[in-house]
């Protein structure tokens, strides 16, 4: 799953600069250059995996630990009141850089950033049908 042109792989290899905030042997965290809110940080596996679904489970604990450490650091440093951790997977979900990355975004009361606008099902039956379909597909 290598991609020689991947911008985040280039950051990992030190070929293009980043404002690094945390690193382990397998994980890197650095500032997002286009922050939705100032302090917005990205946490990535150093190895190239395109989406969350490609990340091996044995990296999960190290990644979660990094997200929590970085999340606390971002909150403390920006004096944030809250924190969003999010991820876009595949183009249809808004993914632009196809090297898996977690967005860690500090939140403030009335910061104006809106995500997850609620929708609704036609009826509860529709929701139950989808739940059943999803249950069947979970392996």
Q: Confirm or reject binding of residue 95 to ligand AMP (CB under 6 A).
A: yes
Q: Which is nearer to Zn ion, 40 or 99 (CB)?
A: 99
Q: Confirm or reject binding of residue 101 to Zn ion (CB under 5 A).
A: no
Query: How many Cα atoms are found within 13 Å in the side-chain-facing hemisphere of 86?
Result: 14
C-alpha 40/C-alpha 81 separation (Å) is 14
Burial readout 44-67 (b: 16 or more C-beta within 10 A, e: otherwise)? bbbbbbbbeeeeeeebeeebeebb
Q: Confirm or reject binding of residue 60 to ligand AMP (CB under 6 A).
A: no
C-alpha 20/C-alpha 48 separation (Å) is 18
Give catalytic status of residue 101 as yes or no: yes
Q: Confirm or reject binding of residue 29 to ligand AMP (CB under 6 A).
A: no
Among 70, 99, 101, 106, the residue binding Zn ion under the rule CB under 5 A is 99
Instruction: Write down the catalytic residue from 40, 99, 101, 103.
Output: 101
Secondary structure of 95-118 in the HEC alphabet?
CCCCCCCEEEEEECCCCCCCCCCC
Q: Confirm or reject binding of residue 97 to ligand AMP (CB under 6 A).
A: yes
Q: Which is nearer to ligand AMP, 23 or 132 (CB)?
A: 23
How far does CA 6 lie from the centroid of its chain? 17
Q: Which is nearer to Zn ion, 14 or 119 (CB)?
A: 14
The catalytic residues are 101
Interface residue list for Zn ion (CB under 5 A)? 6, 8-9, 48, 99
Interface residue list for ligand AMP (CB under 6 A)? 7, 18, 32-34, 42, 88, 94-97
């Amino acid at each position: 799953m290598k991609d020689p042109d991947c911008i985040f792989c280039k950051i990992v290899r030190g070929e293009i600069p980043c404002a690094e905030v945390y690193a382990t042997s397998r994980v890197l965290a650095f500032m997002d250059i286009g922050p939705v809110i100032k302090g917005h940080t990205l946490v990535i596996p150093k190895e190239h995996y395109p989406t969350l679904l490609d990340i091996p489970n044995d990296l999960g604990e190290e990644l979660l630990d990094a997200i929590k450490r970085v999340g606390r650091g971002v909150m403390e440093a920006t004096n944030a009141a809250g924190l969003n951790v999010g991820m876009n997977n595949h183009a249809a979900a808004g993914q632009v850089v196809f090297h898996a990355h977690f967005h860690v975004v500090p939140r403030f009361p009335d910061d104006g950033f809106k995500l997850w606008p609620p929708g609704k099902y036609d009826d509860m039956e529709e929701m139950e049908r989808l739940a059943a379909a999803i249950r069947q597909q979970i392996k």
